[in-house]
């Protein structure tokens, strides 16, 4: 009997759709999946298997483990594109373009981009968003990153208070939404587009 391949899912901080996709592929190819990191987030030092499917994010310890393991590995994000690994990634520029078209089709004329972090994914999504708006003769106000380690909540709140109504706010995560005061929410009509790497748009209520 052929031995099952043992594959580590080093996915600790990503969208649940990645988990589903990895599980489906593993089932179709008869892999044994090691999913402990999904629950523990601990790097399994000393683990030996046949390959690694990873989302490294800001985990330098995970990057070091993967690179030193010598095992075949595939990264499913472009966040750490300085790390030399084969990768599968979404078309972030197209995601931004689709978001802009979503708002334009609904008659919005004032736009702001509120990234979660200042990383390559947000940069490419913003480029697609802003370029599509420019083709329609609109501009987009770029807010500081929402991540409190990199951004300034006071500046973001001030910028939103000054935005015309109705306004569209794109790539706006829950961390930032919670920091915006009730007064701000009463002044603007907000449509939120969360863009996932599956190139889908999802409207939140």
Closest CA to 158 of 141, 174, 172: 141
Question: What CATH number should be reported for the domain whose range is 92-203?
Answer: 3.40.50.2300
Whole-number Å distance between alpha carbons of 113 and 130: 9
Whole-number Å distance between alpha carbons of 138 and 132: 9
pLDDT in tens, 90-149: 888 999 999 999 999 999 998 988 887 778 888 899 999 999 999 999 999 888 886 655
164-173: buried (b, 16+ CB within 10 Å) or exposed (e) per residue? eeebbbbbbb
Do 6-75 and 92-203 fold alike per CATH? yes
Architecture of the domain defined by 6-75: 3-Layer(aba) Sandwich (3.40)
Tokens at residue 176, please? 């930032």
pTM for the whole structure: 0.62
- Domain positions in the chain: 6-75, 92-203
Alpha carbon distances (Å) from 181 to 108, 167, 176: 22, 16, 10
Closest CA to 72 of 6, 25, 21: 6
Whole-number Å distance between alpha carbons of 201 and 123: 18
> Which residues does the chain have with pLDDT short of 50?
150-151, 155-156, 158, 166, 173-205
Predicted local confidence at residue 185, as pLDDT: 39
């Amino acid at each position: 009997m052929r031995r099952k391949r043992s594959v580590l899912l080093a996915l600790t901080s990503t969208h649940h759709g990645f988990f589903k996709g990895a599980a489906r592929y593993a089932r179709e190819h008869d892999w044994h999946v090691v999913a402990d990191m999904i629950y523990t987030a601990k790097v399994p030092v000393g683990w030996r298997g046949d390959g690694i499917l990873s989302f490294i994010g800001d985990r330098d310890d995970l990057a070091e483990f993967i690179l030193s393991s010598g095992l075949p590995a595939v990264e499913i994000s472009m966040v750490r594109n300085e790390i030399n690994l084969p990768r599968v990634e979404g078309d972030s520029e197209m995601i931004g373009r689709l978001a802009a078209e979503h708002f334009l089709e609904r008659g919005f004329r004032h736009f702001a981009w509120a990234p979660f972090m200042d990383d390559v994914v947000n940069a490419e999504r913003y480029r697609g968003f802003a370029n599509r708006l420019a083709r329609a003769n609109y501009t987009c106000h770029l807010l500081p990153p929402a991540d409190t380690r990199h951004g300034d909540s006071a500046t973001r709140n001030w910028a939103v208070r000054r935005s015309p109504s109705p306004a569209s706010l794109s790539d706006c995560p829950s961390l930032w939404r919670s920091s915006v005061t009730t007064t701000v929410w009463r002044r603007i009509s907000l449509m939120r587009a969360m863009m996932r790497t599956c190139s889908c748009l999802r409207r939140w209520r």
